[in-house]
Amino acid sequence: MFEFERQIMKAENKYPMVEYAYKVIPISEFGKFSFAKYLNAPHRMIPKSEVNSFIEKNLNVNREPFIGQVKIHEDIKESAVKTEVERIVLQKLAMHNVPGVNYSDSYGTFKRVNFDALEFGQDFVIEIGEKIVFEQPKKLTFDDIKAL
């Protein structure tokens, strides 16, 4: 499904089919430092001796955009779910200006580039939670209309 089709579905208020919870977990010290800088950007250079105390004081990954839900409005294969959710989460992190997260979509409509880029899989990982399936509203038939 193309991006414009997704936007049309959202504009038409189509119901999401599934939802996945996610959590972004920093692995490396560089990942922890970058996530600690989110909404806590220091106004000066931090010496290496103060980096660990800055991380302990400011690292909070239990808030948006590090945890949340991804709603998918289309029926995708089970094998493609992980890559689709990871793509959406990376886009969400970039749109919230999380330091170190680079993202550019394949259509060229959105691009975020940082000089100190984090490597997905080395500096941070994305845990995907359980699948929540939404009940889709059934279409009205003539019998339903007569019953009203």
How far apart CA 125 and CA 119 sit, in angstroms, is 9
3-state secondary structure (DSSP) of residue 111: strand
Residue 6: predicted pLDDT = 72
Amino acid at 114: N
- Could you identify the residue written with the tokens 């949340």? 68
Residue 17: predicted pLDDT = 81
Residue 13: predicted pLDDT = 56
Using an 8 Å Cβ cutoff, are 27 and 125 in contact? yes
Q: Is 45 left (phi over 0), alpha (psi -120 to 50) or beta?
A: beta
Q: Which domain holds residue 102?
A: 3-147
**How many domains, the chain?**
1
Residue 115: predicted pLDDT = 67
pLDDT in tens for each of the 148 residues of the chain? 677 777 776 666 567 788 999 999 999 999 999 999 999 888 888 899 999 999 999 999 999 999 999 988 777 888 899 999 999 999 999 889 999 898 888 777 777 777 678 999 999 999 999 988 887 777 767 777 777 6
Per-residue exposure over 25-59, b if at least 16 CB sit within 10 Å of its own CB, e if not? ebeeebbbbbbbbbeeeeeeeeeeeeeeebbeebb
Amino acid at 53: S
